[in-house]
Structure 1
Amino acid sequence: MSNKLLHIFLILTLFIFVSCESNFREVQKMGFSEFSPSGEADSINLKYTDSGRIKAVLISPKMLEFGLVEFPFTEFPKGIDLTLFDANGKKTFVKANYAISYKGTDLIDLQGKVNIYNETGEKLETEQLYFDQKNEWFFTQKKFKFSSPKGLSYGEGIDFSKDFKKVNSQKISGEVNESE
């Protein structure tokens, strides 16, 4: 009798294992298709305009569009080179090793050797920086290095306008020459 119970137990165990394996493969397929890009582009050079005026130029070797997921986003896995223009045509340059833009929030998450600089010699370096496109505002809670013709400073946590005219920093140290 115990041999018969053992045999039934083994058959039930095998049946459960086989049906779990099948379900697992189906779940894997669903997860894979959900996060497959709905669009892909190589060597992009996008120009954003408003009322006939160029506001930004985005260059990237690779762009992946995930527009069919619950929270759509665009990913730049090989980095970006972004040039922002103000109303007077002055430029701000942004470079990052990786970027992801979230559609519903107008936020761009820049990561890995992020450098932002302008034509007047101001430069910020950090490992992660967010850009609020709507308000044209950058921010991070990561460590940063800020250099300008007036001096050099280090800190952890900063937010600023795209032209560096308004800057709020936290935990800052460095040397700035105020006479210039």
Structure 2
Amino acid sequence: MFRLLKLSVLGVSFYAMFACGSGDLKKVEQINLQDTIQVDTTKGAEIIYSDSAKVKAKLKAPVLLYFKTKNPYYEMPKGIDVVFYDENLKPTSTVVSDYAIRRENEKTVELRKNVVAKNSEGKTFKSEELIWDENTKKFYSNTLVTIITDQATISGTSFWALEDFSYYEIKQGAGPIQFNTDMDTTASK
């Protein structure tokens, strides 16, 4: 069965080579190169990120694909769940998404589709795309983002945040803000 499949693939490659003009020969070579990319598959993956022997984050993915190319990358087509920790191993923030890709050389993780991040203060950040730059230890997004707090729900065109989401900046933010009316007004007199 395997030989028959291999012969079929070889036959299709030869057919494509002879059916195409000489200008398309490069395209056929690229297709054949793509077939030889080595991909490792892990199911139920759990990755621990550490720095100086201290755990910084734990990532879980139902499926983890590792593409061994010139620019290697990990793809998590069924999403991820990440927990970030402080120096005392106390969770500081969480991030989930339906899809993620980590580019190893750039040390960036692109999170896409239903991205939700929460910090220890209970603030929730929602977007369709969020990029984690491991070098700068920051998250950023150039797509619509919504931040939900106890006092407000603010949407903006883009934003960036520290890794633990304790500090963030949003661009072109808009939304209703609820102020505490029980504040002591005598302090300003």
Report how many residues are paired.
Answer: 162
- In the other structure, the counterpart of 1:54 is 55
2:164 pairs with 1:132: no
Q: Which runs of 5+ in 1 are unaligned?
A: 1-16
Whether 1:70 aligns to 2:70 is: yes
Task: Name the CA distance, whole Å, in 1 between partners of 2:52 and 2:63.
Answer: 28
Matching residue's letter, 2:18: S
Tell me the TM-score normalised to structure 1 length.
0.79
Aligned position for 2:86: 86
Q: 1:56 to 1:33 in 2, by over 3 A?
A: same
1:33 matched to which residue of 2?
36
CA distance in 2, matches of 1:52, 1:72: 24
Percent identity reads 22
> Could you give the per-residue CA deviations for residues 13-63 of structure 1, whole angstroms, max 9, x where no partner exists?
xxxx972459576553222223x41x2111112222334432111111111
1:172 and 2:176 equivalent? no
The SS at the match of 2:83 is strand
**Matching residue of 1:123:** 124
Q: Which amino acid aligns with 1:167?
A: Y
Q: Secondary structure at the match of 2:122?
A: coil
Question: Structure 1: how far apart are the matches of 2:121 and 2:30?
Answer: 54
Give 1:66 deviation, angstroms.
1.1
Larger Rg belongs to: 1
Task: Give the unaligned 5+ runs of structure 2.
Answer: 1-15, 184-189
Aligned residue in 2 for 1:145: 146
The structure with more strand, counted as a fraction of residues: 1
Alpha carbons of 1:157 and 1:20: their partners in 2 closer, same or farther (altered >3 Å)? same
Aligned-pair distance for 1:107?
Answer: 0.7
